[in-house]
């Protein structure tokens, strides 16, 4: 899992926040519960102590303190109710001490002695054996003549502690549930929030230099996503303009070069065909003419690419059999291969239909095959394969030549790129053949790529959308 | 070129292009009038009877396309060869619609211009007969047979097509581009070495066994077929 992703961080923050809130809630409820439980226990004991104090007062007024024990026992039965009752005199005498409770939860004798603090009511927590605690409420009773009494009523805090423990257990049990909800909810929320971003990036992915006129869909939500789409669209527009400028420049430049080329070629030609010229001059001028020819073919190539890239309409758009086109083209070029003793194996299955401009598609086959033959040493082998599959028509041109080094592989379709500069220039290539192939494939809504193993050969693969065959509507057996 | 002198009008604003084209055509015994802009060109075309007009499209003043349109409206029947540095499809269609008879894109080889002009004049020097002959080489178009010195030479269909094209234009220099376009098709234009390979094969059959060579290489310009050392 990518821990740096926006998704992960958002879910983390979300879950963390929810967890934190749950923690604060848990701690505060625990504290409130504890205070209120202890408070009500204290209130109850104090009330009971007041009642017993009243009882004591009445007994003393009637006779003496001696009878209060029996009264308390009869009315409140502290041993049955798990309560502790002690009535003490300030001079140290113990008037009454409740018997040990039935539940054996504490030993009355072990309860710490009374604390005298004057005539004010007071509750305190005292420790019992075994770490347990008891809430002890004291109610002083002042009797004129017989001095100060202290009525104490105590209750073990076990119940409160048990309630609090239950609450804690409940909180802990809820922890995984809350965690699950936090993570799951966070995931769903984040996914939903990021879905439009995903959509935008997928649409942006589809836009390349060949369809820069397309724009991203803009969600009219008035938020960051709308601004993002609009900003991206502006950027694509600027890119589009830049591309158009560069294409127009190439088209204009190659156009402007044509007239001077015509003049140079015309003048040189008139000399070359002049019979009065010496052989040496004829040779020199001929050499210059060859360069003019190459220059002209570069200009033509550039012009063709800029037109293809500008999406200029093809001269024809028909459905034709790619297999047949490849077979007939390979046939026409057989002598080129034969000349280098190269075996050309054409395993083109016929009946692979595509739609487009046959002349341009033929150019693709010619350029790829010419390339393969050019860079395969004498006695090598070149194979052509046409097949259909998955809604695609595929043409593969493979050779067993020296291959293309990995660092050059991504650049072979660039204009003027040559793997072996010295050699291809000698062969007369301008370095435009493969970029023309790429532009034609793109104009046919397809693509071309290359794989190569240095020392073992290269394989060019053209993929085009396949078309429905048209019944007997192929006017030309051998292609254009 | 026998009979009356062919008169032609060349309308081209690029003086250097106009100069070498006019010079080359005069050497081929055409009478050439030159106009350097559309205005003058149109004036000359409407005043005088020409056998063929060579018209550049990108002209100052009246454009070539406009000149074409006016010629057409006037009901003129002069064949027009259009020269242009543009070769996008819409341009072509527009000019053919306006009445152009043929089309040549710059930069062109003069030999090709000449060939097209001759084709427009319907007086091609190229032999249209069934049997073509250069020295002791015979090319029979009907039976697709080739003989030299009476000896039968076996050629593949492509080799025959190439030889036929060369022999039909014997005495002319044919550029590789012209050969590719006529014997193969435009897809092979950047593949001019295919011409060299085929010519080499053709020579091995047609020339090598004989003392007199008929297929000549004109460096930088292309090939020609003829008895002499070539033009």
Q: Which domain holds residue A110?
A: 6-163
Q: What is the side-by-side order of every strand in the sheet holding A84-89?
A: A94-97, A84-89, A147-156, A133-143, A122-127
> Is residue A465 over pLDDT 90?
yes
Residues A15 and A148 in one domain: yes
> Is residue A384 over pLDDT 90?
yes
The domain boundary residue, chosen from A163, A184, A200: A163
| Separation CA A31–CA A34 (nearest Å) | 5
Tell me which of B68 and B186 has the higher pLDDT.
B68
Residues A327 and A452 in one domain: yes
> Is residue A220 over pLDDT 70?
yes
> Taking residues B22-33, what's their average pLDDT?
90
Q: Would you state the pLDDT for residue A270?
A: 81
Terminal Cα-to-Cα distance of chain B (whole angstroms): 17
Q: Would you state the pLDDT for residue A290?
A: 86
> Is A407 in the B-facing interface, judged by CB distances under 8 Å?
no
**Domains of chain B from N-terminus onward:** 6-120 (3.40.50.2300), 131-225 (1.10.10.10)
The domain boundary residue, chosen from A141, A163, A185: A163
B-interface mutation test, from A252, A260, A263, most B Cβ less than 10 A away: A263
Whether the upstream peptide bond of residue A304 has omega within 30° of 0, thus cis, is no
**Which of A206-220, A364-378, B139-153, B174-188 has the weakest average pLDDT?**
A206-220
Q: Would you state the pLDDT for residue A422?
A: 60
Tell me the pairing of strands A343-348 and A381-389: parallel
Q: Is residue A438 part of a domain?
A: yes
- Angle, nearest 10°, between helix axes B15-27 and A224-272? 40
Whole-number percent of chain B with pLDDT over 90? 29
Q: Is residue A373 part of a domain?
A: yes
Instruction: Report ipTM (2 d.p.).
Output: 0.76
Q: Is residue A361 part of a domain?
A: yes
Contacts of B185 in chain A (CB under 8 A): 359, 362, 480
Residues A277 and A334 in one domain: no
Q: Is residue A476 part of a domain?
A: no
Q: Is residue A208 part of a domain?
A: no
Residues A16 and A159 in one domain: yes
CATH number at residue A243: 1.10.287.130
Residues A304 and A333 in one domain: no
| Separation CA B193–CA B206 (nearest Å) | 19
* Secondary structure of residue A31 in the 3-state scheme: helix
Q: Would you state the pLDDT for residue A70?
A: 86
- Residue B145, min C-alpha distance to chain A (Å): 21
Residues A46 and A99 in one domain: yes
Contacts of A299 in chain B (CB under 8 A): 107
Question: Which stretch of DSSP H or E encloses residue A142?
Answer: strand A133-143
Q: Is residue A21 part of a domain?
A: yes
Residues A274 and A335 in one domain: no
B146: which strand partners? B139, B153
CATH number at residue A133: 3.30.450
Q: Across all residues in chain A, what is the average pLDDT?
A: 86
Q: Would you state the pLDDT for residue A399?
A: 92
Q: Would you state the pLDDT for residue A78?
A: 86
Residues A347 and A236 in one domain: no
- Tokens coding A186: 């966070």
Residues A352 and A426 in one domain: yes
The domain boundary residue, chosen from A148, A163, A178: A163
CATH number at residue A383: 3.30.565.10
- Number of domains chain A contains: 3
Q: Is residue A185 part of a domain?
A: no
Across the interface, of B24, B85, B194, the residue whose CB is closest to A258 is B85
Residues A370 and A412 in one domain: yes
Q: Is residue A67 part of a domain?
A: yes
Enter the pTM of the model: 0.65
Q: Would you state the pLDDT for residue B12?
A: 92
Q: Do A273 and B16 count as a contact with CB atoms less than 8 A apart?
A: no
Across the interface, of A286, A292, A333, the residue whose CB is closest to B194 is A333
Residues A336 and A232 in one domain: no
> Is A362 in the B-facing interface, judged by CB distances under 8 Å?
yes
> Taking residues B180-186, what's their average pLDDT?
84
Residues A159 and A19 in one domain: yes
Q: Would you state the pLDDT for residue A314?
A: 67
* Secondary structure of residue B84 in the 3-state scheme: strand
């Amino acid at each position: 899992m990518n821990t740096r992703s926006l998704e992960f961080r958002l879910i983390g923050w979300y879950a963390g926040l929810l967890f934190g809130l749950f923690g604060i809630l848990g701690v505060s409820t625990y504290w409130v519960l504890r205070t209120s439980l202890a408070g009500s226990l204290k209130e109850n004991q104090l009330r009971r102590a007041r009642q017993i104090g009243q009882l004591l007062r009445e007994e003393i007024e009637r006779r003496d303190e001696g009878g209060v024990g029996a009264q308390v026992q009869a009315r409140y039965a502290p041993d049955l109710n798990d309560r502790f009752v002690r009535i003490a005199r300030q001079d140290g005498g113990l008037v009454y001490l409740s018997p040990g409770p039935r539940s054996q939860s504490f030993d009355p004798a072990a309860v710490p002695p009374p604390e005298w603090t004057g005539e004010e009511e007071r509750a305190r927590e005292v420790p019992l054996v075994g770490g347990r605690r008891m809430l002890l409420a004291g109610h002083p009773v002042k009797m004129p003549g017989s001095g100060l009494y202290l009525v104490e009523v105590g209750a073990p805090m076990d119940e409160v502690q048990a309630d609090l423990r239950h609450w804690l257990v409940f909180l802990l049990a809820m922890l995984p549930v809350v965690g699950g909800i936090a993570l799951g909810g966070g995931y769903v929320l984040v996914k939903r929030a990021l879905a439009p971003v995903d959509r935008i990036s997928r649409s942006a992915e589809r836009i390349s230099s060949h369809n820069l006129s397309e724009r991203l869909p803009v969600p009219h939500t008035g938020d960051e996503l709308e601004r993002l789409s609009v900003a991206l669209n502006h950027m694509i527009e600027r890119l589009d303009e830049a591309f158009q400028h560069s294409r127009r420049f190439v088209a204009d430049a190659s156009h402007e070069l044509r007239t001077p080329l015509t003049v140079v070629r015309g003048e040189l030609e008139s000399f070359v065909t002049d019979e009065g010229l010496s052989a040496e001059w004829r040779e020199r001028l001929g050499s210059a003419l060859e360069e003019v020819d190459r220059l002209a073919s570069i200009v033509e190539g550039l012009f063709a690419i800029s037109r293809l890239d500008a999406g200029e309409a093809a001269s024809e758009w028909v459905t034709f059999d790619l297999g047949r086109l490849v077979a007939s083209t390979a046939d026409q070029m057989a002598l080129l291969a034969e000349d280098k003793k190269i075996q050309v194996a054409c395993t083109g299955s016929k009946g692979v239909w595509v739609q487009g401009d046959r002349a341009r598609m033929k150019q693709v086959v010619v350029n790829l095959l010419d390339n393969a033959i050019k860079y395969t040493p004498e006695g090598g082998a070149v194979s052509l394969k046409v097949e259909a599959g998955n809604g695609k028509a595929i043409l593969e041109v493979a050779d067993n030549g020296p291959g293309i080094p990995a660092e050059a592989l991504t650049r072979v379709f660039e204009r003027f790129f040559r793997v072996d500069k010295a050699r291809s220039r000698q062969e007369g290539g301008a370095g435009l053949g493969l970029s023309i192939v790429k532009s034609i494939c793109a104009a046919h809504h397809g693509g071309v790529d290359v794989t190569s193993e240095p020392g073992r050969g290269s394989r060019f693969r053209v993929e085009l959308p396949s078309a429905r065959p048209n019944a007997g509507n192929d006017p030309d057996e051998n292609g254009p | 070129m026998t009979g009356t002198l062919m008169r032609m009008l060349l309308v081209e604003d690029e003086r250097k292009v106009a100069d070498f084209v006019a010079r080359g055509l005069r050497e081929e015994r055409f009478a050439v009038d030159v106009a350097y802009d559309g205005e003058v060109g149109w004036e000359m075309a409407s005043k005088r009877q020409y056998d063929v007009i060579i018209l550049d499209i990108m002209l100052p003043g009246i454009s070539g396309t406009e000149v074409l349109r006016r010629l057409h409206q006037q009901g003129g029947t002069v064949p027009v060869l259009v020269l242009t540095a543009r070769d996008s499809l819409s341009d072509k269609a527009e000019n053919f619609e306006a009445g152009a008879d043929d089309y040549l894109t710059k930069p062109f080889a003069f030999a090709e211009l000449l060939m097209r002009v001759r084709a427009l004049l319907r007086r091609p020097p190229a032999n249209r007969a069934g049997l073509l002959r250069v020295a002791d080489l015979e090319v029979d178009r009907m039976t697709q047979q080739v003989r030299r010195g009476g000896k039968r030479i076996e050629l593949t269909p492509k080799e025959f097509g190439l030889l036929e094209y060369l022999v039909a234009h014997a005495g002319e220099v044919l550029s590789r581009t012209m050969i590719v376009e006529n014997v193969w098709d435009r897809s092979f234009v950047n593949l001019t070495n295919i011409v060299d390979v085929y010519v080499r094969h053709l020579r091995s059959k047609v020339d090598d066994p004989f003392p007199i060579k008929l297929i000549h290489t004109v460096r930088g310009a292309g090939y020609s077929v003829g008895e002499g050392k070539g033009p």
